[in-house]
Amino acid sequence: MTSDVEVTYRKRFDRHFEELRWLYMELYSNSSMFAELCDTMERFSRARSASLKERDLRKEADPDWYKDSDQIGMSLYVQNFGGNLQGVRNRLDYIEKCNVNVIHLMPFLESPKGRNDGGYAVSDYRKVRPDLGDMDDLQALTESCHKRGISVGMDFVLNHTSDDHEWARRARAGEGEYMSRYYFYNNPEVVRKFEETVPQAFPETAPGNFTYVPECGHYVMTTFYPYQWDLNYHNPRVFNEMVYNFLYLANRGMDMMCLIAHPYIWKEPGTSCCSLPQVHTITRLLRMIVEIVCPSVLLMSDAAFRPEDALPYFGTAEKPECHILYNAATMAAVWNSVATRDAFLLKNQLDMLSSFSAAHVFENYLRNHDDISWNLDYDLLRGQGIMEISHKKYLNDYFRGYSGSSNSRGELCNVDYVNEDARFCGRTASMCGIERAGFEGSDEMMDSSIRMDIMLHALLFMLPGLPVLYSGDEIGQVNDYSYKDDPEKARDARYICRGPMNWKLTENIDSPDTVQGRLFHALDILEKIRKEEKAFGSEAECWTLDTHAKEILGFCRYRNEEKITGLFNFSEHSQTAWINEENAGCRDLVTGEPVQTGSIVMDPYAFRYLKTKKSD
Ligand code: GLC
């Protein structure tokens, strides 16, 4: 007899079968590998626990759950946050106190010590790094999270494995079957041709896109670090096996899989090897596989492009690809406004984001574990006489605290002397001045820095999409320079943002006169407003507002006759916003006080959430 579960599986499978087969055959024209894929998918579906199957049904019935304004995320490193997986589980009360209900676990799978790019060089996709626990601990964590209504995401490194992965070891030993899972060439001319068109991911720390492997006398493609070997998705064995790894992890209770180095998974000579059409075919295949086997799982892409360039990664309404995309561009535009006291570029970008459909969900954040690569709209800036190279230099100097009236602290990474480019690394609190103010014991600077930090978070919560805090930002944790003492990390300044959580500081979160207390309390208010107010819902209409003050960004959300106007002053001076909209009965959502619109004086680094009801 067929069970309900089997009937459900069949329905999902039948719904996608034609397209799944079509795309797979288009890419691989290999029917036996396709048959193997289908059989294995069914096996993973059967192996899924009853509670995950139930979760699948619930999420299928409410497919837009992740768009709700009550979803607030936090990304964290297991070792930094809880020591290990069990430790993270012990800290779930704190996660809840932060009003967070989506945690994004940074890499925790097995990867060789010292040669792992922060965990992004996986040597075994089915094994947790031994010092962090094991798969049972992972499952126990996801189960505990689910019981509390917390979803769990992880990074799934799609593009490459560690050179210590079994496949890489066997390839190095010259086994053809395994060499064909990577891009191996013995002709330096082919390598040279690739280098002509493929840009450099890490020009300073890992120049070039190939690494010579003396053991087998070949060059292997390594877009990132030399020990991260690019997987060859031209080979259906690679696709199938990576899908099985994906499903294995999904069955441990993952709700969101962030596809790492996603745009790079398909390579062709003579191209940039980035965002090629086949990347979309593979993503679409993955999306259908998810919808068949584990429909509660979300696909997220780390395609860190400008929003308009990242859009194709959502696919179309009929043929969706990813559910969520990282919004690295808005993050960069926000910090650009901080350095220039000018919201023009940011406003322009938010205009574009607001014009996208509600189906396009971006993950917004102020800072994360990576650098800022200043991927701004230079065509637009050029119109204002601002040139790319000099502007990037200005921003990098500014945020290192070298120029302008900057209190920021941080460091550069991947300085590209040829193209005069560099990226900046620093944590939110340090970039706002909290680190400097603390060292110098300046109350005035501290006050201004905290105000900026809160204003930026208020903006983060206002943006359409999923807001994700970077663990430690809620207590203003600053840069960690200890990576310099570790020779394996010292050359990669991104580790400045990857220090351990300072739990001692969390003891202050209820003391309003401390840095931690001020920040935590302010964020708590903002998070609760975001979760409660209807106009923060994903169906809200959003638009930017002309404030007639270049330092003040205005952003409105409107839904069900309720409007919230957000004003954000990027200047250390008071500024006046001129609001030319009907705002009768307007009140400040934070203070509850009535506000007369027209001209609104904004204190240094102040923000306002102003609510108007049509009926008022
Ligand atoms: C992703 C990660 C980054 C890593 C890269 C290559 O972009 O965010 O930290 O270096 O992948 O593995």
Distance CA 44, CA 246 (A): 10
β pairing state of 210-213 and 218-221: antiparallel
Closest ligand 1 atom, residue 202 Cα: 10
CA of 337 to the centre of ligand 1 (A): 25
Contact 600, 576 (CB under 8 A): yes
| Strand intervals (E) in 336-463 | 361-364, 411-416, 421-425
Measured CA to CA, the distance from residue 34 to residue 316 in angstroms comes to 24
Whole-angstrom Cα distance, residue 4 to residue 404?
66
Asked whether residue 351 carries a pLDDT value surpassing 80, the answer given is yes
Count of CA atoms in the C-beta half-sphere (13 A) of 494 = 19
- For residue 392, the surrounding DSSP H or E stretch is helix 388-399
Cα 155 to averaged position of ligand 1 atoms, centre (Å): 10
Which whole number is the average pLDDT over 234-257? 98
Mutate to test the pocket of ligand 1, among 120, 154, 483 (most ligand atoms within 8 A of CB): 120
Q: Ligand 1 centre and the CA of 132: distance in Å?
A: 20
Task: Characterize 211-222 residue by residue with b for buried, 16 or more Cβ atoms within 10 angstroms of its Cβ, and e for exposed.
Answer: bebeebebbbbb
CA distance 174 to 214: 11
Tokens read off for 208? 């070039």
The Cα 388–Cα 421 span in angstroms is 9
Side chain identity at 355, as an amino acid letter? S
Is 134 in contact with 205 (CB distance < 8 Å)? no
Q: What pairs with residue 562 in β-bridges? A: 559, 613
212: Cα separation from own chain's centroid: 32
What is the distance of C-alpha 111 from the center of its chain?
21
Tokens at residue 541, please? 């209409």
Chain position carrying tokens 């970039």: 431
What's the Cα-to-Cα distance from 315 to each of 245, 261, 321, 349, rounded to whole Å? 23, 18, 5, 21
Cβ-based neighbour number of residue 295 at 10 Å: 18
Residue 202 per-residue DSSP state:
B
Give dist(CA 147, CA 459) in Å, integer: 31
Decide: 224 in ligand 1 pocket, CB within 6 A.
yes
Distance 229 CA to ligand 1 centre (A): 13
Burial class (CB in 10 A: 0-12, 13-18, 19+), 19: middle
Looking at the chain, the whole-number percentage of residues with pLDDT higher than 70 is 99
Which is higher by pLDDT, 177 or 405? 177
Residue 38 has pLDDT above 80, yes or no: yes
**Ligand 1: does its nearest atom lie under 6 Å from the Cβ of 204?**
no
Mean pLDDT to the nearest integer, 255-273: 98
Question: d(Cα 538, Cα 555) in Å, to the nearest integer?
Answer: 15
Nearest-CA residue for atom 2 of ligand 1: 260
Share of the chain above pLDDT 90, in %: 93
Instruction: Say how many Å lie between the CA of residue 370 and the centre of ligand 1.
Output: 7
Identity at 435, one-letter amino acid code = E
Q: What was the pLDDT predicted at 615? A: 58
Q: Are strands 324-326 and 298-301 parallel, antiparallel or unpaired?
A: parallel
- With a 6 Å cutoff on the Cβ, whether 261 touches ligand 1 is yes
**What pTM did the predictor assign?**
0.96
Asked if 434 and 515 touch (Cβ cutoff 8 Å), the reply is: yes
Least confident window among 94-103, 398-407, 507-516, 607-616: 607-616
Calculate how far, in angstroms, residue 261's C-alpha sits from the geometric centre of ligand 1: 6
Atom of ligand 1 nearest to the CA of 160: 12
For the cut 80, the answer to whether the pLDDT of residue 614 exceeds it is no
Question: In the prediction, which pLDDT does 582 show?
Answer: 74
Query: CA-CA distance, 257 to 294, in Å (whole number)?
Result: 12
| Kind and range of the H or E run holding 35 | helix 31-47
| Cβ(527) – ligand 1 distance below 6 Å | no
**Residue 93 clears pLDDT 90, i.e. is over it:** yes
Closest CA to 483 of 467, 468, 500: 500
Are 84 and 78 spatial neighbours (Cβ–Cβ below 8 Å)? Answer: yes
- Start-end of H helices in 175-276: 176-179, 188-197, 236-250
80-104: average pLDDT: 98
Rg of the chain on CA atoms, in Å: 24
Write down the residue that tokens 């999902």 correspond to. Answer: 12
How many whole angstroms from 456 Cα to the centroid of ligand 1? 25
Give the Cα separation of 294 and 594 in Å (integer). Answer: 49
3-state secondary structure of 60: helix
Q: Is the CB of 373 under 6 A from ligand 1?
A: no
Strand partners, 470: 75
| pLDDT > 90? residue 217 | yes
Q: Is 230 in the pocket of ligand 1 (CB under 6 A)?
A: no
Q: Are 72 and 102 in contact, with CB atoms under 8 Å apart?
A: yes
Give yes or no for residue 438 CB within 6 A of ligand 1: no
Distance 179 CA to ligand 1 centre (A): 23
pLDDT of residue 508: 98
Predicted local distance difference test score (pLDDT) of residue 358? 82
Q: What is the pLDDT of residue 616?
A: 46
The response to whether residue 117 sits with its C-beta less than 6 Å from ligand 1 reads yes
Of 355, 363, 294, 307, nearest to 333 by C-alpha is: 307
Give the residue-averaged pLDDT of 241-267.
98
Task: State which of 204, 205, 260, 414 you would mutate to test the pocket of ligand 1, scoring each by most atoms of that ligand within 8 A of its C-beta.
Answer: 260
**How close is the Cα of 167 to the center of ligand 1, in Å?**
21
Mutate to test the pocket of ligand 1, among 300, 370, 372, 497 (most ligand atoms within 8 A of CB): 370
Chain segment 554-596, per-residue pLDDT in tens? 999 999 999 999 999 999 999 999 998 777 789 999 999 999 8
Q: Tell me the two tokens of residue 398.
A: 């500014």
Q: Judge if the beta carbon of residue 258 lies within 6 A of ligand 1.
A: no
- Residue identified by tokens 């899924």 is 48
* Whole-Å CA distances, 565 to 397, 462, 579, 599, 610: 33, 9, 10, 14, 5
What separation in Å is there between the alpha carbon of 228 and the centre of ligand 1?
Answer: 10
CA nearest neighbour of 446 among 426, 429, 459: 429
Contact 298, 287 (CB under 8 A): no
> Residue 382 pLDDT more than 80?
yes
How high is the mean pLDDT of the chain? Answer: 96
What whole-number distance in Å separates Cα of residue 20 and Cα of residue 241? Answer: 17
Give the tokens for residue 150: 């917390």
User: Residue 78: in which H helix or E strand, if any?
Assistant: helix 78-82
Q: Is the pLDDT of residue 386 over 90?
A: yes
Ligand 1: centre distance to CA 89 (Å) = 25
Report the SS3 class of residue 577: strand
152 vs 139: CA distance, rounded Å? 11
